[in-house]
Amino acid sequence: MASVHVVKPGLLTTVQDRGRWGFQALGVSVAGPMDPVSHRIANAMAGNAVDAAALEVTLVGPELVFDDERIVAVAGAEFEITIDRDPVDATGCFVVPTGAALRFGRRVRGTRAYIAVAGGIDTPPVLGSRATHLPSAMGGFGGRALTVGDRLSCGAARPRPHAAAHARLAGVPHSVPDGRATLRILPGPQSDRFAAGALEALQSAPYRIASSSNRMGFRLSGPPLAHTRGADVISDATPLGVVQVPASGQPILLMADRQTSGGYPKIATVITADIGLAGQLGPGDTIAFAVCSPGEAMTALIGQEQHLMSVEAGRR
């Protein structure tokens, strides 16, 4: 079976598909891509199914050598990329010849890039998913980030015209931020547990993402948010993008590797259409929060989904 050889792993490169859905009631986290929009675009450009596994690159990219010729697509954060030292488009679709090395150089903007290989990364599924959940060491390649010497099996690629390679995607459904982003939020589910004016305080100034942040969540530093009845509630579900607030008053934005339940009150939730934008932020970057209406959130999601579906239809 054809494989990809990891010469250099980068800072944090993991195997991710759309996530391990359906087991949260049993305490199994979803995992999956931090930026699901870019993950989906990369798979579409590579001619893969929407649920194919790809590689998520964080801040520093890998060096990969391919056993056979493959169409490869990169989406999300922009890096300087070369194939055997010949530069290629920072985000696009191209052919990597047999034995060639795909190298990631300087990061231009964004935090996470997605490398989709035609045929997908073919690691053994765990509970129906190839997503890597780092805290529980589940899925992906041994439940961990890639290291030097790893060999990743690739699935059989769908037949595609050779001209489909070297393509660049236009009209990306969301832009890659350069150190800052405004995320739209809906209040709740426990905004009543906060003092009057807390939601306004959340929107009053940007929050900086702390260096202790990871795929579980972003620890934020900014205007403190005061509780009315303490910082503990009966543990309940923790959706993707929820903003929970511990006793310190400094919020935590929960992301892909989040726990399935938690006991801190949750003041707001980032809308689904902006999760990909959040996933392109990293330590030192800043977030501004802005309340929107449920109607605005639904309109944004419908627009994003229509765009993604058109991309997928055009790449088949």
From residue 47, give the alpha-carbon distance in Å to each of 43, 162, 307.
6, 12, 17
165 confidence band (pLDDT: 50, 70, 90): very low
Whether residue 166 has pLDDT greater than 90 = no
Domains defined for the chain, CATH in brackets? 3-172 (no CATH), 180-309 (2.40.100.10)
Cα dihedral 50, 310, 75, 119 sign: positive
pLDDT the model gives residue 33:
98
pLDDT in tens, 271-284: 999 999 999 999 99
- How far apart CA 134 and CA 98 sit, in angstroms, is 31
Q: For residue 92, what pLDDT is reported?
A: 83
What is the pLDDT, as a whole number, of residue 157?
A: 80
Per-residue pLDDT averaged across 138-164, rounded?
85
Report the chain's mean pLDDT, rounded to a whole number. 93
Give per-residue pLDDT as tens, 48-74: 999 999 999 999 999 999 999 999 999
- DSSP strand pairing (261-262 vs 236-237): antiparallel
pTM of the model: 0.94
How far, in Å, CA of 292 to CA of 231, rounded?
25
- Residue 281: phi and psi, rounded to 5, are -100, 155
Q: Which of 182, 185, 42 is nearest to 113 (CA)?
A: 42
